[in-house]
Structures are given as C-alpha cells and as structure tokens.
Structure 1
Amino acid sequence: MLDQRSQAAGSQTAAGLIAKIVVLAVVASLAAWAALPLIRAGAWWALAVEAAVVAIVFYTYLQRRAVPLKYLVPGTLLLITFQIIPVIMTIGTSFSNYGDGHRVDKDQAVEVIIAAGVQQTPDSATYLLAGGETTAGELALLLTDTADGSHWAGTEEGLTELGDVETDETGRITAADGYTVWDLEELNERQAELAELAVPTGADTGIRIQGLSAFEGTSTREYDADCDCITDSATGTVWTADDENGRFVTEDGEEALVGWRVGVGWDNYARLFTDAEMRSAFLGVFVWNLAFAAGSVLFTFALGLGAAMALNRPGMRGTKAYRAIMILPYAMPSFAMILVWAQMFNRDFGLVNELLGLNVNWFGETWAARAMALVTNTWLGFPYMFLICLGALQALPADSLEAAKIDGATGTTAFRKITLPLLLVSLTPLLISSFAFNFNNFNAIELLTGGNPFRAGDDVGGTDLLITYAFRQAFGSSTSDYGFASAVSMFIFLIVATISAIMFRTTRKQEEVFA
C-alpha cells in the first residue's frame, strides 16, 4: 500500500513538473515575441517591465516554497494589466490634448505638414489607390505600386508594407488584414477626407492622392529648427510652433494640418465647468444618468422581489415552469433583445403603439425615449433580481416571521418591519453593484436609442448617459477628442466610487442594527 502511494505521489509530481515546464516555456516564448517590437521601437522602460514580470513568474514557479504566491501572482498580474494600467493610461490621457489633429509627436507632425505640400515630380512612384480605415478608425491610403505590384498602407505615421491582400482585376486592393477597405462608391464620396491625409515617406517627400491614384513627390515646405517654423516656398506661408497648445499656426491664427500631443493640465476637466454650454449639457446628462441608474435598480428590484414572493410559496404547483419563464429574458442575449425592443417601439409599425392604440414618437420625444429605455432595461434586469431575491427569501430565518405572526403582525407589517430590512442587509451590496452597472450601461442606450433624440446642432442626446456621451466625444463625432473623453470617464469613475462608498457605509450600519 505504501509503495502504491509513493508511486502515485511520484506520478503526480512528474505530471506537475511537466506542466510547469510547458507553462514556463510558453511564458518565455511570449516574452521573446513581445520583446522584439519593444526593442525595435526603443521602448526600454516597457522592456524592463516585461523582464521584471518574467523574472517574477520564473522565481515564483521554480521553487517549492511560497505556495500562496503561485496563486496570487497570476491574478495580480492580470489585475494590473487589465484594470490598473488602463486606469493609469486614462488618467494620463485626460491631462492631454490627444485626439484628432493631435495624435502624433512633434517630429511626426512636422513630417505630415511637410508631406501635405508634396508636388509630383518626374519619374516619381505612382500607385493605384484604395481608401480605408484601420481597426482603430484611422484613415489610411491602401496603395498598389504600379511598377512592381507591391502593396502598402499609408497613414500619418508613414508607409507600411502589407502582407496578404485581395485585389481586383486592375490590382487595386479590395481586402487587407487589419483594415476596412472601401468600395469605389465610398472612395469617391470620401475623396475630400483622403485629400487631407498626408503620408510622409522621407524628410521632404510624401504620398498624395490624385483622383483614384496616388503619387510620391517632393514637398515645397521646409522646417527650420532655428525659428521652430515651417515655410511653404510656393505660397510664402509660415507656420510657427505653439508648444503650449501643440500646433503650428500662422500670424493670422490659421492652424497647420496637424498638431502634436502635449499636456494641457486641468483644461479638459475645467471645460465641464467653465464652458456654459458644456456645463449645462454635462449636468443634464448627469441628472438623467442618476435617474436612469436609480430607476433601473428600483424597478427591477421591485418587480423581481414581487415575483419572488409570489413564487416563494410551499406547495405551490408549477413553480419550476413559472421560474423558467421568469428567467427567460436573462437567458437571452441582451444586445439582441434590445434590438427587438427597439423595433417594438417603432412609431409606425411597432407592437407597443399597435396594441395600446398610441401614436407616440418614442425615439423623437425626450421623455418618451427615456421611459422606453427604463421599460426595456427593467424587462432585461428583473430576472436577475428575481433570482437573488428568491434565494434571499428562502434563507430568511423562519422563527422571526413566525414570531411576528404570533404577535399579530399583518402580512404588510411583517414585510415592512422584518422581511424587507433583513433582505436589504444581504442584498444591498448586489443593489450597489447593479447601480454601478446601470450607471455605465452603454448597451442599453447605444443599441436602443443611440442617445436620441438630438436637438439641432447639439451633440448631446436626450437619453445619453455619461458613458455614451464620452464614447461619442472619443469615437462617434466628426472629430475625436480622447483627452476630453478620458476626463469624462474619470468623472464617471469618481461619481460611481463616491456613491458606492456611501451606500456601503449605510449597509454596514444596517448590519450593526440587525447583528
């Protein structure tokens, strides 16, 4: 028997050793794969951090001691990677002017401005043009060299050679990995956007488009480091660097094509309070955001608790079938259900107006759209509240309720004085998490209303939450302002953290009362 146990232990140890070797080999391979682009980019600080992480992993798993670390290290590294670092990066972005026209550093901005003055020269390279966008939404020229048939992608950062692409019979690119390629109709419609895109290829050369083709030429513009300015010899225009705002401007205040990323301090945060129009819009969105989150929690909790109490009856027949029906909305994909509800609220042929005999423009009137958002979110969220309330009701001490009945308490009194307070002690943390989730419930608004209705000339919709407003500032408007969107995101974080802290403090007081 002892020999068998020893053999089993040895077998388990061998299996664990093999697994450890495989995992560490994978870690080393991934580290080497990630280190190469960091070395090419000269990102030495990032390379040092990567080396430190790999050293910690190997130190932890190559020794038999420190068993708790073997469980803590993976979770801690993932927490830092996917939670802490994004928050730090968001904070850093919120103190910058990062956005359209300010995506690159100063040297790259100079290259782009010089490339924008490119004029075609004899014997210059020519390309077949296909327009498109990167996965990040950045405009790109997708080019086929007419001389050798090579394929390239041109952005503000320069040219990048493409690997596997699909082309039509003329050689024009129709599909490329990592890019959304436009068809010819969209290319013609967006010619003006592409015409403003300058792709640098050297100190004084770049790529410019001409109809459905492009060429590489020499620029008429030159940068002078002594005056920190750019001069266009063809027009005589001089742009001087404004390092405080990250841009090149003429004496008349005309800005050059692009600027560069600089720190702006608290300017993005100050815009929310110093700009009267911005302040009014932000406060309106904030008030509705609070009402939406609180209303969603209140309605889903009330409906879920009511359903749970109705089905929490011993001996009731068909409870399993009823419970299955109750959780059906929770089991369906929320994004699909939101789109279904959007069709149900259609003014002309929607089910809601047809059944109730109404003619409400749910998407065109602010309060109708807000009511629609609350109704839809309540239907999606109440099954979750039903499940947790049903579990909490079944866990309540029966002796307390029996004592209340003996003392002559009615059902309403027992619910108000005993059942509900006891439920809130255990459910308040879940209600707080539900509030935080609904405060940032992007899908419920973006998929249902898209922020509508919008007033003419206003970029804030009647149903916008802070998260959809921040998203539109960063990605959805005609110009993207990541710095300001990051500042709004930090406000969201502070608001939710503050409200959650207050609610948790209230919960602790409830626990002390019923302890």
Structure 2
Amino acid sequence: MTSLTAPAHRERSTSVPAVVGRVLLLGIVLAVTVWIVPVMIATKQWLWVGVTIPAAVLFFVLYSTKRFIPGKYIFPGTFFLATFLIVPIVLTVSYSFTNYGDGSRGSKEEAIASITGNSVQQAPDSPLYAMSVGTTGTPTDGPFTLFLVNQQTGEVEMGEDGKKATAADSSDVTVTDGRVTAADGYTMLDPRQINAAYQTISQIAVEVDDTRAIRAQGPNQAFVGTKVLQYDEATDTITNTSTGEKYTVGKVGDSEVFVDSTGKQAFAQGWLQNVGGDNYIRLFTNSKIAQQFLQALAWTLVFAIGSVLLCFVVGFALALTLNDERIRGRKVYRSVLLIPYAIPGFISLLVWSNFYNKDFGLINQTLHLHLDWFGDPTLAKVAVLLTNLWMGFPYMFIVCTGALQSIPDELMEASRIDGASRLQTTLRIVTPLLLVSVAPLLVSSFAFNFNNFNAIQLLTQGGPFAPGEYDRGGTDILISMIYRIAFGGGGSDFGFASAISVALFVLTGVLAMIQFRFTRVLEDIN
C-alpha cells in the first residue's frame, strides 16, 4: 500500500515549487505590464503598446496552464524575434514616410513651446528662483529638469523644456539653504557639471503660462520672463509682440513650418509629420543624391565582391597548399594563419589605420614610400580592400580546409590515373566539389560585406571627402553613407536615411536571391 501512495505523494510535493515559481513569474509579468503600458500610452508609443499587451496576454494563456506545450517553447524565440528584428524594421519603414530629423522630432505643440520659450526676455521686476538642475540621464547629455525654489514664498517647482512648471512633492525633494539638493529619481548636477552643460541648460524654457516662461540665469539662478513671440491658436500664427510681425504655417520642401511674409522658414524648429513618399521621390529624382547613391552602390558592389573573391582565392590557395600531406608542420602553419581571425575586428582596423599613416605609418616607412593612403580616393579604396583581405582570409581558409578534407581521395587518384595534371584536378574536380558546400557561405559573406559598416568607419571614416561634401566620402559604402546622413556633419535626417535603408534592404534581398539562384547550378555536380 505504501509503494502505491508514495509516488503520488512525491508528485504533489514536487509540484508545489513549480506552482509557486509559475505564480511568481506570472505576477512579475503582470506587474511589469501594468507599470509600463500606462507609460507607453502617456508617451504615445502605440507600436510598443501593440507589442506589449498581446505578448503579455499570450504569456498568461501559455504559461498559466499545462496545455500548449509546443507554444511554451516557441513563444520566447518568437517574442524576441519580433522585438529585436521585426519591430525595428517596422519603425524604419514608418520613419521613411516622415520628416524625422533635426528640428522635427517632436509634436507641433512642442515646437511652438520651444519657439516661444526661446524668445523669453527678462523684465526689471521678474521673479527670481534659486535653481538646481537634475537629470535622469547623463550630466553631459541630459535630459535636464530644472528644480526651482521661489525666493519669496519658498515654494518648490520643477519643469522640463517646453512643458509647464509643476509643484514638486515635498516628500520627493530635499531643500537645503533654500535650494533643492536632492530629488527622488534624479541625479543632481554640481556647479562644474552645470557649467559644462550650460549651453544646453540655458536654452531650456519652462512654461508658466501662454505668455511667460522660466529661463536659467547663470548656474544657480532662474527668472520668469515674458515671451516676445506668442502663439495664437485660433489663427495658428506666431506674433512678434515687439515688431508686430506674424508668422504663418507654410510648406518648405517636404514639411510644414512657420514662415515669414516672404515664405521663408522663420525658425529652425519644426515638427514630426507624414510626408508620404517624398523621401523616396527625393532619392530617385534629386540628381545630386541619385548620383551619390549610384556611386556608393558601385563602390559597395566592388567592395563586397572584391572582398569575397580576394579572401576566397587566398584562403583556398592556402588551404590547398596546407592540405598536402608532404608538408611538415601543417598544424603550426594553420594555427599561425588563424591569428588575424582571433584578433577582434575593431582592434585590427584601428591598428591598420595607423599602418597607413602618411608620415609615420609602418607601410610607408618599411617600403620607403610617401603615399597618402587616406588622402587619395583610389589608394583609400585599395587600403580598405587590403585590410579586409587580412581580416577575412582566415575564415575562408577554415571553410576551404574543412571542405577539402571532405572530398574523397579516390577522386584524386582516379583523375591521376586518367592522366590529369594537378592543376587540371584542382580546377575541374576539387574546385567544383568545394563550391557545392562553400557557395552558400560565399553568398552570406557577400551580404555581410555589402553592409560591413565597421570596415569603413573604423579604418577611413568614409573619407576622403570632397570640399563641402558631408554625406558621402570616397570610401563610403551605402550603409556608411546612410549613417552619415542620419548622424553626420550635414545635420541629422533620419526620415531620409530610413528611406535609403529600406531601399538598401530590398536591394540586398534581390542580390541574395539572384546569387542563391545561381548556386542551384552547383547542385547538379552532386
């Protein structure tokens, strides 16, 4: 009787920890969902709301019961695939239909608040505040929040740029000697840090009402001033109260902005808006941009194809040589050849960038040359290909070595009996058989080099650049040109960069499809 009831007792006892663990896990997921969804709704991040709520519901359906066993294993991978791959693709495509970039990252209301807030002027009787600065980010980049203590009433207020000041909860802030010295959730900046970031802090305007705002005056004081520029919601215009000039909404380029009486853009600030397919039209109809795109595409193809071919030829030749059993110490040679592959790529690129230095680089000094490797576009391209060859041939060497060792020796012996030379055997038997297994890896290597951002950015930074050119340098491939458009010296244009990214994504997919179709020919060899 005991032997029959013991297993059931053990099953009940061992299921308790599992039930407790399941309850805790579901509780954590529920708590995180309840906390983060309102935040997303408040910040209007609807895409992430659309991902989080269904994911949380599906999580409860799958893991609250003992059913749906396959789904329990499939869900984690699918969720992270959607979060880290599909959602960024959706965001990139959506941004490609907007004017997202410098001066147009927020809403129209935020743009108006910034325009009018920057026009604040101090009056002789303006109230003063003891100012402290806090941040939820870094002391250098922010975002910054002003903590203000009214010197007359002692009331504590807080506010961010373009938003109205609100009363601070006394339990959340610590006031010492009439100044906020600590605040829950914020890192308070010391005077040295405020001075370092003062250029940004001085531009912050915390709204009091429609006509007044608070601005910083030095590192520890702020004042309430009157807005010279005031917005009229009824007419959708901004008026300069000192001159009487009105600024209306007009279209400049692809975006709506506030313009003066001549139709020119009056302020640097704009707002995020849908521009339809204008970014794509601009890409293919603007002659200068189209020329840059085609030049970058041509060099990208040369770089990707050249890198793959050079690495494959060198790797295959070395693998073929070291596959000969007559060579002694083959393991040592193979180990030495793997050294470039073992060194992290970014270190190799930074070291090689010093080798190409015109004045004291290792290459010029060793060969007694005076070549300006990074100053001449052609030499810079050669330098990129040579460096990528150094970093890539060990991978091809490993792949080809493995493929060669899988080819039966009987085929070699049969070819020699038939009178074929070693060169004929290599070209007509070894190479086709090797390509059967290596061809898909060549396609993937091509796709990798087609978007090999590090090889360009860490070695040449895309240069050399023509005078007055910021978007594309002599060695920029498409992906590095996109980076420069999005973050470069000519200003950030994320919407247009997203449009080029979508075009690059489609182009890469088409090229990969064509290459895989060609590799099917090799299947007949098997």
TM-score where L is the length of structure 1: 0.86
Is 2:369 aligned against 1:358?
Answer: yes
1:363–1:452 Cα contact (<8 Å) kept = yes
Instruction: Tell me the equivalent position of 1:83.
Output: 85
> Which residue among 207, 210, 232 is the counterpart of 1:203?
210
- Residue in 2 that maps onto 1:338: 349
**Matched length:** 505
Q: 2:278 aligns with which of 245, 267, 274?
A: 267
Q: Deviations over 1:253-307 (max 9, x none)?
A: 2322311111112221222232222222221111111111111111111111122
**Corresponding residue for 2:230?**
222
CA separation in 1, counterparts of 2:162 and 2:128? 19
Q: How big is the shift at 1:345?
A: 1.0
Matches of 1:381 and 1:435, distance apart in 2 = 12
Output one character per residue of 1:414-443: Cα deviation in whole Å (capped at 9) or x when no partner: 221121112222112211111111111111
Q: Deviations over 1:40-95 (max 9, x none)?
A: 44657744542221111121223333322222111111111111111111011111
Mapped contact 1:140–1:155 kept (Cα < 8 A): no
SS of residue in 2 equivalent to 1:246: strand
Q: Distance in 1 between matches of 2:237 and 2:481?
A: 37
Which stretch has the larger CA shift, 381-390 or 346-355?
381-390
Farther-moved stretch of structure 1 (62-71 vs 277-286): 62-71
- Within a 5 Å distance, the mapping from 1:93-108 to structure 2 comes to 93-108=95-110
Secondary structure at 1:489's aligned position in 2?
helix
- Residue 419 of structure 1 aligns with which residue? 430
Indicate which of 224, 227, 242 corresponds to 1:234. 242
Query: Which residues in structure 2 correspond to 1:8-27 (within 5 Å)?
Result: 20-27=22-29
Q: Please list, as runs of the form range in 1=range in 2, the aligned pairs for 1:485-496 lying within 5 A after superposition.
A: 485-496=497-508
Match of 2:114 in 1: 112
Could you list the per-position Cα deviations for residues 434-492 of structure 1 after superposition, in whole angstroms to 9, with x for gaps in the alignment? 11111111111111111111111011211111111111111122421101111111121
1:67 maps onto 2:69 in alignment: yes
Distance 1:484 1:393, change over 3 A: same
* Cα contact 2:211–2:226 (8 A) shared by 1: yes
Of 505, 509, 512 in structure 1, the residue corresponding to residue 517 of structure 2 is: 505
Cα distance in 2 between the residues matched to 1:334 and 1:223: 54
1:317 offset after TM fit, Å? 3.3
Aligned equivalents of 2:274 and 2:82: distance in 1? 25
2:269 is the counterpart of 1:258: yes
The one-letter code of the counterpart of 1:245 is S
Asked if 1:306 is matched to 2:317, the reply is yes
* 3-state SS of paired residue (1:454): coil
The answer to whether the Cα contact below 8 Å between 1:128 and 1:172 also exists between their aligned partners in 2 is no
SS of aligned partner of 1:247? strand
- 1:84-483 to 2 correspondences below 5 Å: 84-121=86-123, 122-126=125-129, 143=146, 145=148, 154-155=160-161, 191=199, 200=207, 202-210=209-217, 214-242=222-250, 245-252=255-262, 253-314=264-325, 316-459=327-470, 460-483=472-495
Q: Normalising by structure 2, what TM-score?
A: 0.84
Alpha-carbon separation, structure 1, partners of 2:227 and 2:384: 54
1:354 positional shift: 0.8
Which whole-Å CA distance do the structure 1 matches of 2:208 and 2:363 have between them? 58
Contact 2:132 2:148 in 1 (8 A): no
Cα distance in structure 2, aligned partners of 1:501 and 1:182: 57
For residues 421 and 2 of structure 1, do their structure 2 counterparts lie closer, same or farther at Cα, with a shift above 3 Å needed? farther
Change over 3 Å in CA distance of 1:183–1:58 after alignment to 2: closer
Contact 1:156–1:197 under 8 Å retained in 2:
yes
Structure 2 gaps of 5+ residues are: none
Query: In 2, Cα distance between the equivalents of 1:299 and 1:136?
Result: 47
List per-residue Cα deviations over 1:333-371 (Å, max 9, x = no partner). Answer: 111111111111111111110111110111111111111
Moved more, 56-65 or 500-509: 56-65
Q: What SS does the aligned partner of 1:269 have?
A: helix
Partner Cα separation in structure 2 for residue 206 and residue 454 of structure 1: 44
Q: Give the CA deviation at 1:382.
A: 1.4
Q: Could you tell me how far apart the structure 2 residues matched to 1:428 and 1:351 are?
A: 36
- What are the superposed Cα offsets for residues 482-506 of structure 1, whole Å, 9 maximum, x if unpaired? 0111111112111111110001111
| Counterparts of 1:87 and 1:35, CA distance in 2 | 22
Name stretches of at least 5 consecutive residues in structure 1 with no aligned partner. none
Mapped to 2, the partners of 1:506 and 1:180 lie a distance apart of 64
Preserved contact between residue 130 and residue 182 of structure 1 (Cα < 8 Å): no
More displaced, 352-361 or 13-22?
13-22
| 1:139–1:194 Cα contact (<8 Å) kept | no
Q: How far apart are the structure 1 equivalents of 2:479 and 2:188?
A: 27
Q: Secondary structure, in 3 states, of the residue corresponding to 1:306?
A: helix
Sort the Cα spacing of 1:257 and 1:410 in 2 relative to 1 into closer, same or farther, 3 A.
same
- Residue 223 of structure 1: SS of its match in structure 2? strand
Distance 1:33 1:141, change over 3 A: closer
Cα distance change on mapping 1:467 and 1:179 into 2, 3 Å: farther
Q: Helix, strand or coil for the counterpart of 1:241? A: strand
State the distance in 2 between where 1:67 and 1:318 align: 53
- Looking at structure 2, the residues matched to 204 and 152 of structure 1 have their Cα atoms a distance apart, in angstroms, of 18
Moved more, 339-348 or 320-329: 320-329
Q: What secondary structure sits across from 1:278 in the alignment? A: helix
Asked if 2 retains the 8 angstrom alpha-carbon contact of 1:112 and 1:199, the reply is: no
Mark the structure with the bigger radius of gyration: 2
Relative to structure 1, is the Cα distance of residues 371 and 68 closer, same or farther in structure 2, using a 3 angstrom cutoff? Answer: same
